[in-house]
Amino acid sequence: MPKPSSGMTPADFAVVYDKFKAAVSRYDCGKFCSPLNDGSPVCCSTQHAVPVVDKAEFKFLKSRTDLWHVFKPYDAATRQIVDELHHSCAAIECKGARHCERDNRSVACRAFPFYPYITRTGDFVGLGTYWTYEDRCWLMSNMRVVERDFVQEFVSAYEYIFDRDPEEYATMKAHSASHRRVFSRRGQPIPLIGREGGFLQVLPRSGRILPLPASRLPKFGAYVSQSTYRKAIKEAGGDVTFTPAFQI
């Protein structure tokens, strides 16, 4: 989960947390991915995603809760994540999904798997996804369940952050450019949730943005169909008898 350097204060994060409380969906999406991840939601496991926050945000969190602690790398990949952090950032880890305190989730947790997509010309037009998780994150194959309140609060929170931290804006703009390069090489459009509602697609190479019918939203990995999902759970050693139906 990329996170840039800070122009934010702990007090600023108090405002962001107050602005950004909405649940991403009325569904508990962790129930759909956890059977494929040893019972834990993908976004709540540092085996998949290491939360990286501004140190100001970590200071704010520590003033409210003992839920979070400094993340300790466990292999070469996670050591690289920590080694490459900007001096104003920290990699952190919570006590796990069973101990979640929703009011004390980091911005990274609240937003996952989405980031603010910014065009070449600098416009914040919608919500892109951290595409490297597309094979594991159920929500990325079911974006139509994302609630409008979540989108509105996401946009409001990031506009507040961008107004105070130009480096955050620059980092997200660079991340959007990386997204375009990767999907242009794939020859695939980038699906977005539009900030004003509906879905958009960024065309490969040209970067043109067009409407995307909900019926054409992509599905990935085990979430392509109910049969592939059940097969993946069986291969993971899970019990398909109690498999939730994930097609919404």
pLDDT in 10s for each residue of the chain, 248 residues: 444 445 899 999 999 999 999 999 999 999 999 999 888 899 998 988 899 999 999 999 999 999 999 999 999 999 999 999 988 899 999 999 999 999 999 999 999 999 999 999 999 999 999 999 999 999 999 999 999 999 999 999 999 999 999 999 999 999 999 999 999 999 999 999 999 999 999 999 999 999 999 999 999 999 999 999 999 999 988 777 666 665 55
Is 55 in a helix, a strand, or coil?
helix
Residue 245 pLDDT = 61
Going by DSSP bridges, is the β-strand pair 52-54/89-94 parallel, antiparallel, or unpaired?
antiparallel
Report the run of H or E that residue 192 belongs to, with start and end: strand 190-194
Please check whether residue 154 is in contact with residue 107, taking contact to mean a CB–CB distance below 8 angstroms: no
pLDDT value of residue 244: 63
Look at residue 246 in the predicted model and tell me its pLDDT.
57
The sheet carrying 124-129 orders its strands as 114-118, 124-129, 190-194, 199-202, 209-211
How far apart CA 218 and CA 32 sit, in angstroms, is: 17
Percent of residues, the chain, with pLDDT higher than 70 = 94
pLDDT for the residue numbered 3: 46
Helix, coil or strand: residue 118: strand
What SS3 state is found at 17?
helix
Residue of 57, 69, 64 lying closest to 10 (CA atoms) = 57
Is the bond preceding residue 113 a cis peptide, omega within 30 degrees?
yes
Token representation of residue 140: 């990325």
How are beta strands 68-70 and 89-94 bridged, if at all? antiparallel
pLDDT tens across 48-81, in order? Answer: 889 999 999 999 999 999 999 999 999 999 999 9
The string of DSSP codes covering 60-104 is HHHTT-SSEEE----SHHHHHHHHT--TTEEEEEES-GGG--GGG
Distance CA 137, CA 93 (A): 19
